[in-house]
Structure 1
Amino acid sequence: MSEASCVYEAFVNYYFGTSSMFYHVCITIRRYLGIVALPLNNAPIEKWRVALAFAGCQLLSLVLAVSPLLGFGSYGLEAHGTSCGLALNDRSSTGKAYLIGIGTVCYALPVTITSIFYVLIIKTIRVLDCALLFFCW
């Protein structure tokens, strides 16, 4: 595999992987708003806000995927040499900063946000079940 095709593969995989992760966070927030927050206010969700959120996901994914092409982080062969991705063995200061930022923005933040909103949804459903069925489990 040539280096150019390796970088292309890593860029495409990384771009679509991060955008799908951010989409999942948007869907989680949308579910929270639809189940918990907006029924209390009786307010609809405007379609332009949803479109803006998904456009923000695309833009953030693009910025994160293009950064290694501009020298902030790098793409390279993965451990077994069968596919390409982020160069985890990049020991430069920008490489380390990029990997720490990616770990925070693409893993810790989405997992935290998704967990918090799903816990709030589960709490609301449990309260509604208690009110409707007259007992709590």
Structure 2
Amino acid sequence: MGDWDVRIDESKNRLYLTLDGQLSVAEAEAAADEVIEKTGRLEPGFDEVNDMRTFKTTDEAALEHIERGKRGIVENGVAAVCRVVSESVTGQMQFDRAGEGEEEYPVAKADSVEEAEKLLDSRRSG
């Protein structure tokens, strides 16, 4: 079983997504739904911090929902994503491959949420 958390910071125009453990199909579906719904509240040009340090590999049916979530953030106007990298190299590779063609935005990787925020903040000011 896995868990996820989705929150937005409207003042920063930023989505924060945390993926923890191995998501079931139902969990991946609910997480994708929430990501799409919450990014609809942000202004186009928003960015995302995706904390997946504890994300584990999951089954293909769950990955379909991850792909749908990636399509949803593109449709809602994401400008850039910074992923806080996974302890599970396999999980990270699996997440990266899911919806690869959907990622029409820059993707950076960081070792912490704080580093991810700094990278995204510097992208805006630079």
Same fold (TM over 0.5): no
If asked which structure has higher relative contact order (CA below 8 Å, sep 6+), I would say 1
Higher helix share: 1
- Normalised TM-score (structure 1): 0.22
- Normalised TM-score (structure 2): 0.24
Higher strand share: 2
